[in-house]
Amino acid sequence: MTSTLDQFGSQTTYAEAGLGAAKTLLLTNGMVAIGIAIFIFVMAITVFAWRFNGGGRSWWIVGGGIVFPLVTLLALTVVSATTLRAITNDAGPENPVIEVTGHQYWWDVVHDPNMRALRDANEVILPLDTPVTLRLRSNDVIHSFWVPSISGKMDMIPGRINELTVTATKKGRFRGQCAEFCGLSHPLMAFEVVVLPVDDYAAYLDSLESEARDAVTPQQRRGKEVFLTSGCTACHAVRGVSENGRLGPDLTRVGARASLGAGMWRMNLGNLAGWIADVGDMKPGAQMPSYNHLTGPDLRAVSTWLESLK
Amino acid sequence: MDGSDRHSHPWAVAVWAIVGLIVSAIVGVWALGVPGKDPVGAAVLTTQIAFRDTTDFLRFGPIDGQPDWEAASMILHDANAESGASLIELHGCGSCHTIPGIPRAHGSVGPSLASFRDQAYVAGVLPNRPGDLVEWLMNPTVHAPQTAMPDLGITEDEARDMVAYLYTLQAKP
């Protein structure tokens, strides 16, 4: 229980759950096997050279020092390039498209950006066994999108759209991480990937069209009021409540996510209240100001309301 | 002899019935005093607490009969400080409090809990004793309505484990 990682299935290529990761794993294992074979071979001829101090050394230098490395490295290059191509190039025009935009230090996620433009944040939901085209963009500096269990990494570069096609082959929850140093809280910029069966993915997309859950209890209603009157709406959108904020993550289903602060803390009332009261302590360099001017009851109310948005 | 036994029998039943009623009444009143919306659950909980406190007393004797009664008064029998540490992390206490020994617990929203054992009051409203601290963790807003600390839905057993951990935090002597 030392990190939020234990609530995700994994963040390692060795627990592959996607075509890209499977191919990368095969390449890795192959390279390790060949490397071990070469190491044993080199040790063997070293022993041979010590024991039998004979002639014919120039042949060994040309063969073992130039030809063999050349052939081996060329072969490895071809195999790596083929794998990379296989990972990144199974894009099809019919693939579902998900646009992910890196911000300092969170992820904006838009499903089907051309047609329905369904917005969520910090959690990428993928359909099972379906090639999905990820359109990767950045809003400020260079980030890198990396979900080791599912595929290789791809940089997100300001002013560019990089495409990465991924196919998840196992249901579950996986952790992704920004893999390009992007500022003070780069290590605190993670995200969740949830792989759902195709039907559930369609239902999830439909849910992104509906408005946020109603505030029911008096405390939740008060929380909504605090949210609307304290300036939260300048940066955050909650569908059906206030939809103009685009500088921060969409909070329409913030309580439904398993984590808070882009994959870094467990989603619960305590962390949520602590986050609102002192963002700078939990995530140095984040754009959000600390809301430590709210009274205690108001802080609890707004946290309770946000936690209820599922 | 037989006659008197038979005569005393109804008396004993009556006495025990009255004692039972008094105990039930005490438990009932106590249960109503426990914050929450579930009087039956509260009565069960109260009975459990009474049972546990009684068995603790029978097992370990009165606190002021022990050599170091101050230390003894801070002991929560059968509470597990190690699981308390995990629970403290799970509930996200570190977002607001600095807590030694808990990963990433460096919050400055609320007070630091380092050397919490030495602190006299809990949040300035309750004496810092095991029972009161358990109450506080379960329902902070009942004891301090203006507090920023939310009710996290912590159960009594969880709170006991967490208190056991908090009482391991003390300034080096």
Helix (H) or strand (E) holding B50: helix B39-60
Q: Per-residue pLDDT averaged across B85-106, rounded? A: 89
Q: Is A118 on the interface with B (CB under 8 A)?
A: no
| β-bridge mates for residue A68, sequence order | none
Q: If pLDDT is split at 50, 70 and 90, which confidence band does B14 have?
A: confident
Q: If pLDDT is split at 50, 70 and 90, which confidence band does B4 have?
A: very low
Cα–Cα distances (Å) from A186 to A141, A190, A192, A249, A272, in that order, read 11, 9, 16, 17, 20
Q: What is the pLDDT of residue A3?
A: 53
Centroid of chain to Cα A127: 15
Subunit contact B90:A266, Cβ cutoff 8 A: yes
Q: What is the pLDDT of residue A2?
A: 46
Q: Which residue of B has its CA nearest to A304?
A: B150
Contacts of B150 in chain A (CB under 8 A): 269-270, 273, 300, 303-304
Ramachandran angles phi, psi of A3, nearest 5°: -150, 175
Q: Per-residue pLDDT averaged across B123-152, rounded? A: 89
Q: What is the pLDDT of residue A78?
A: 92
Subunit contact B150:A278, Cβ cutoff 8 A: no
pLDDT in tens, chain A (310 residues): 345 656 666 788 888 888 888 888 888 898 899 899 989 988 988 888 787 766 566 777 788 788 988 998 999 899 888 888 877 766 677 888 999 999 989 999 999 888 888 888 999 999 998 889 899 999 899 999 999 888 888 899 999 998 888 889 988 888 899 999 998 999 989 999 999 999 999 999 888 888 888 888 888 889 999 999 998 989 999 988 888 888 889 999 998 888 888 888 888 898 999 999 988 888 888 889 888 888 988 999 999 999 998 8
Q: Which residue of B has its CA nearest to A7?
A: B90
CB atoms within 10 A of CB A49: 12
**pLDDT at residue B62 is higher than 90:** no
| Closest in B92, B103, B108 to A270, CB measured | B92
Subunit contact B107:A265, Cβ cutoff 8 A: no
Subunit contact A297:B90, Cβ cutoff 8 A: no
Q: What is the pLDDT of residue B8?
A: 58
| Closest in B95, B103, B153 to A274, CB measured | B95
Q: What is the pLDDT of residue B1?
A: 44
Helix (H) or strand (E) holding B52: helix B39-60
| Closest in B89, B103, B108 to A281, CB measured | B108
What is the length of chain B?
A: 173
Subunit contact A278:B109, Cβ cutoff 8 A: yes
Q: What is the pLDDT of residue B2?
A: 47
pLDDT digits (tens, 9 = 90+) for A1-16: 345 656 666 788 888 8
Cα end-to-end span (Å), chain A? 24
Q: What is the pLDDT of residue B162?
A: 93
- Here the tokens at position A55 are 């002639």
Q: What is the pLDDT of residue B3?
A: 44
Contacts of A304 in chain B (CB under 8 A): 150
Look at residue B34 and give its three-state secondary structure. Answer: coil
Instruction: Give B8→chain A minimum CA distance, Å.
Output: 58
Mutate to test the interface with A, among B87, B88, B95, B138 (most CBs of A within 10 A): B95
70-99 of B, contacting A, C-beta below 8 A = 86, 89-96
Task: For B36-145, list the strands marked E by DSSP.
Answer: 121-122, 126-127
| Closest in A266, A299, A304 to B92, CB measured | A266
Cα–Cα dist B170/A45, whole Å: 63
Helices A218-229 and A296-308 cross at an angle (nearest 10°) of 100
Subunit contact A300:B106, Cβ cutoff 8 A: no
Cα–Cα dist A192/A186, whole Å: 16
Contacts of B153 in chain A (CB under 8 A): 269
**pLDDT at residue B22 is higher than 70:** yes
Q: Is B146 on the interface with A (CB under 8 A)?
A: yes
Instruction: Give B90→chain A minimum CA distance, Å.
Output: 7
Mutate to test the interface with A, among B98, B104, B109 (most CBs of A within 10 A): B109
Question: Is the omega angle on the peptide bond into residue B165 within 30 degrees of 0, that is, cis?
Answer: no
Subunit contact A295:B146, Cβ cutoff 8 A: yes
Residue bearing the bigger pLDDT, A69 or B39: A69
| Closest in A273, A292, A294 to B150, CB measured | A273
Q: What is the pLDDT of residue A1?
A: 37
Q: What is the pLDDT of residue A54?
A: 60
Cβ–Cβ under 8 Å, residues A68 and A60: no
pTM above 0.80, yes or no: no
Q: Is B123 on the interface with A (CB under 8 A)?
A: no
Q: What is the pLDDT of residue A55?
A: 59
The three state secondary structure string of chain A is CCCHHHHCCECCCCCCCEHHHHHHHHHHHHHHHHHHHHHHHHHHHHHHHHHCCCCCHHHHHHHHHHHHHHHHHHHHHHHHHHHHHHHHCCCCCCCCEEEEEEECCEEEEEECCCCCCEEEECEEEEEECCEEEEEEEECCCCEEEECCCCCCCEEECECCCEEEEEEECCCEEEEEEECCCCCCCHHHCEEEEEEECHHHHHHHHHHCCCCCCCCCCHHHHHHHHHHHHCCHHHCCCECCCECCCCCCCCCCCHHHCCEECCCCEECCHHHHHHHHHCHHHHCCCCCCCCCCCCCHHHHHHHHHHHHHCC
